[in-house]
Structure 1
Amino acid sequence: MNSVLLSLSALLAASVLAAPAAAAAPADGRPAAAVPAGWEALDGAELAAMADGEGARQAPFAASPDGAAATSAAEEELIVMQSERNGRFVATEVTYPAPHTGVLRARSTDVGGWETLAFEWDETTESHAIRSTANGLYVAVEKNLTGASQNVLRARSTSVGGWERFTVYYNEELDLWALQSQLNGLFVAMENSYTGSLQYVLRARSADVGGSWEQFRLYGLEG
């Protein structure tokens, strides 16, 4: 498997593409989506090998807005996510009011503290938890929200349960990544066609990795 965690120095050239119609929010109890062809689920060791292994290129770590650099435990991998759809980096909206405080949104053109995520592997559930270093909270899929907010990703949990579990997929041919919620079995999409404060929000709503809406680039960060 090729190393795919790249430096940020060759970025920021992606353009915004025309958006297809967004899929409807899934009903509760929908069965888990099948593994898409060409995609492979990665465990914690494989993700760590890509981030820290010989030949892997690291992205520079930027301090958070208050100047305090985040720290990580040995089992964590500090990662920045970039949407393949709009070329922007995923940030945690820590200043948003309820019920959207802490939503993840692909809206940043550069990397500061709000864009850093810690991926934590759990052997028992064979899944990753994702913790935002911007507010120290775990990312949950908000299944109980309604309308355009249903299944948004939000860094709001102090502990990890089923709502906070994700499967990380890699496509070697495309050199791209995808996330699947273990709560509803759906893949995370970036809502490029949304308007207002939730434009570019991440939402677990796709039954397959159909295109660039569900595809991301991951970049390792040096602590």
Structure 2
Amino acid sequence: MTPVLLSLSALLAASAWAAPAAGAAPQADRPTAVPSGWEAVDGTELPGIAQHTDARQAPLAAGDGVSTTAEEPDLLAVQSVRNGKYVATEKTYPAPNTGVLRARSAEYAGSWEGFALEWDETTGTVALKSLANDRYVAVEKNFTGSAQNVLRARSTSVGGWERFYLYYHEELGRWAFQSTLNGLFVTMENSYSGSLQYALRARSATISGSWEEFKLYGLGA
């Protein structure tokens, strides 16, 4: 599989997929924790995973073609806005942190930074499945201390622990994930040190800025 950075303008011209229209989710339906400008992504309007950037990392720029075929599930890479790093699955970490997600890679280098996005129409949520270990990402609500609510790719099936609401900000071209388990938004822990530096945790009550914001890149076949 060759990763391809999807240009937003090219995607909209070549594909039936499009970014959510402004106002896709009525203002009255937006939770109080969701700031203005952020819209819940509906399955019927689930956008192609794309983000235009002038500073493309080499692995993501391999090839200029755009696939017009929507894959089920959609394959993507996740980049933290806070530190500009790609999210990786730490599958070699010892227990209990095996499979922890961290925004620590300078570029997409392979399956460690790859995820499959699966939409569930019944719940209106998405699940992320790591390509590194073929496990679904769960929120570790029962962990304690600095690891509480950390994201780990460790589940073989999807339940409340593995489901997220997906939000999109059209003007910013950024995305946010809200855990259905605890109602909190996924945050990149930029100020952590040690093995959990840059770990992803579902711990923010609102989308306050770059800590909770991500860019999504499609991986072409």
Q: TM-score w.r.t. structure 1 length?
A: 0.75
Of the three residues 161, 164, 182, the one matched with 1:163 is 161
Aligned-partner Cα distance in 2 for 1:164–1:121: 12
CA RMSD of aligned residues (A): 2.2
Which stretches in structure 2 are left out of the alignment for 5+ residues? 8-30, 51-59, 63-69
- Give the drift of 1:75: 2.4
Does structure 1 residue 151 correspond to structure 2 residue 149? yes
Aligned-partner Cα distance in 1 for 2:74–2:132: 15
Of the three residues 164, 185, 188, the one matched with 2:186 is 188
Does structure 1 residue 37 correspond to structure 2 residue 36? yes
Counterpart mapping for 1:67-216 below 5 A: 74-112=71-109, 113-216=111-214
Q: Is the 8 A contact 1:33 1:185 kept in 2?
A: no
Aligned-partner Cα distance in 2 for 1:126–1:132: 20
More deviation, 98-107/36-45 = 36-45
Which stretches in structure 1 are left out of the alignment for 5+ residues? 8-31, 53-58, 62-72
Counterpart mapping for 1:6-21 below 5 A: 6=6
Of the three residues 43, 49, 52, the one matched with 1:51 is 49
Equivalent in the alignment of 1:26: none
User: What is the percent sequence identity of the aligned residues?
Assistant: 67
- Give the drift of 1:86: 0.4
Name segments (4+ residues, structure 1) moved above 2 Å.
Answer: 32-36, 43-47
Look up the equivalent residue of 1:51 and give its one-letter code.
I
Aligned-partner Cα distance in 1 for 2:139–2:100: 10
Aligned-partner Cα distance in 2 for 1:96–1:214: 24
Aligned-partner Cα distance in 2 for 1:117–1:110: 14
Q: Secondary structure at the match of 2:48?
A: helix
The 1:154/1:132 distance shift into structure 2, 3 A limit, reads same
Would you say how many aligned residue pairs link Structure 1 and Structure 2?
179
Q: Is the 8 A contact 2:178 2:184 kept in 1?
A: yes
Q: Secondary structure at the match of 2:211?
A: helix
Q: TM-score w.r.t. structure 2 length?
A: 0.76
Look up the equivalent residue of 1:35 and give its one-letter code.
V
Aligned-partner Cα distance in 2 for 1:77–1:60: 18
